[in-house]
Structure 1
Amino acid sequence: MTVDPNAATQNFPSPERAPAHRRPHPARYLVPALAAGCVAVALGVYGRVHDPAGTAFNLAGFSSTGAVKSWLATTAVFFALVQLVSALVMYGRLPGPGWAPALHRWSGRVAFLVAVPVAVHCLYALGYQTYETRVLWHSVLGCFFFGVFSAKMLLLRSERLPGWLLPIVGGLVFVVLTVVWLTSAFWFFDTFGVTT
């Protein structure tokens, strides 16, 4: 009778031979969720306790700070739409070019960079306000947007995520940004006209 020297290890796989499709530990989701909550709450608290300055910036060629913010926010939403379409191409829902992933990454970076000065102005110049329903939703969702965006960025660095998670979080980022735009830039253009 011959003894197979590998027989003892066949029933107990070594770490190198362990299945690659293990489910990630729930803490992998907890850290991005906690980061999202911390970012959103920190922005809200700062906006609430900070004494609003009234204005933070203005750009030459624009009639008002509201116009600057509205056009920057509209630019961010445009690039978020590019992100949505490029994500649909990446997930095979739409036909598209092979450079869709690069377009997705760069459009996301541009959308974020354009949204940051708007958020800085809102928090520094206006603060977290609740005097009417539209403004309350804008304040809440503006803080929530940067929280969810932070969670998405952390999840992008994670491995072995379920295939549905990033599209859900990315979709949430897009929806929240759209509602933030509707309660600010769209309202501004509807009230004061499409001006620069």
Structure 2
Amino acid sequence: MTAVEPRRGGLTPLLVPLLLGGLVMVALGVYGRAHTPTGFAVGPAGFSGALAMKSWLTTGAFVLAFVQVISALSMWGKIKIRIHPAVHRWSGRLAFVLTIPVAFHCLYALGLQYDVPRVMIHSLLGCFFYGVLTAKLLALPKRGLPGWTLPVLGGLVFTALVGLWLTSSFWFFTTIGVKV
């Protein structure tokens, strides 16, 4: 397996992914504020409640985010561990799938909130996460992008997910306790 060759080029091919990612971010924020939260827990099957479900699914995505970083570093030849690129693709897909019920519950049941600083930061990070993830996924097939594009977008996705975990799961486990 060889290292992935960095792409070289201008910023023009990056405009559409960034624009669409920004639109996703804003659309989620607007929906989160405009939608009247139901307060109804969506799909906590197998868990003691919605907060436990969200905390554990986010923790799963959080762990897979580290797999993403290690496998990306391997693919780009930055570390000497040989990891098949499929590990990167599938850990990313699984992490994304784990976030869907969490995001759906947050938007549908709770909406975008800004009364409590932790919750406001969490709400904004959620919108940012899906916006930058959209931009990264749309940039993947593009040719002619600068070599820093995917590492920066991937790093932003990782950073947003770590922030989401800290403002939700970590808070839940340290405040409410470790519950299934």
Residues 22 and 84 from structure 1, CA distance in 2 versus in 1: closer, same or farther, beyond 3 angstroms? closer
How far 1:161 sits from its partner (Å)? Answer: 1.7
Name the aligned partner's letter for residue 40 of structure 1.
M
> Counterpart of 1:176?
160
CA distance in 1 between counterparts of 2:89 and 2:161 reads 17
How far 1:73 sits from its partner (Å)? Answer: 0.4
> Counterpart of 2:125?
141
> Counterpart of 1:49?
34
Matched, 1:151 2:151: no
CA distance in 1 between counterparts of 2:112 and 2:87 reads 34
Name the aligned partner's letter for residue 189 of structure 1.
F
How far 1:135 sits from its partner (Å)? Answer: 0.7
Residues 161 and 132 from structure 1, CA distance in 2 versus in 1: closer, same or farther, beyond 3 angstroms? same
Matched, 1:87 2:67: no
Name the aligned partner's letter for residue 31 of structure 1.
V
Gaps of 5+ in 2: 1-6
Q: Normalising to structure 2: TM-score of the pair?
A: 0.92
How far 1:22 sits from its partner (Å)? Answer: 7.8
> Counterpart of 2:53?
68
Residues 174 and 89 from structure 1, CA distance in 2 versus in 1: closer, same or farther, beyond 3 angstroms? same
How far 1:23 sits from its partner (Å)? Answer: 3.2
Identity of aligned residues (%): 56
CA distance in 1 between counterparts of 2:8 and 2:88 reads 28
Name the aligned partner's letter for residue 152 of structure 2.
I
> Counterpart of 2:178?
194
Q: Which has the higher contact order (CA 8 A, sep 6+)?
A: 2
> Counterpart of 2:102?
118
Residues 52 and 93 from structure 1, CA distance in 2 versus in 1: closer, same or farther, beyond 3 angstroms? same
Gaps of 5+ in 1: 1-20
CA distance in 2 between counterparts of 1:90 and 1:114 reads 24
CA distance in 2 between counterparts of 1:84 and 1:181 reads 16
How far 1:162 sits from its partner (Å)? Answer: 1.8
How far 1:98 sits from its partner (Å)? Answer: 5.0
Contact residue 62 and residue 162 of structure 2 kept, 8 A = yes
Deviation >2 Å, runs of 4+: 21-24, 58-61
How far 1:177 sits from its partner (Å)? Answer: 0.7
CA distance in 1 between counterparts of 2:32 and 2:23 reads 14
Root-mean-square deviation (Å): 1.5
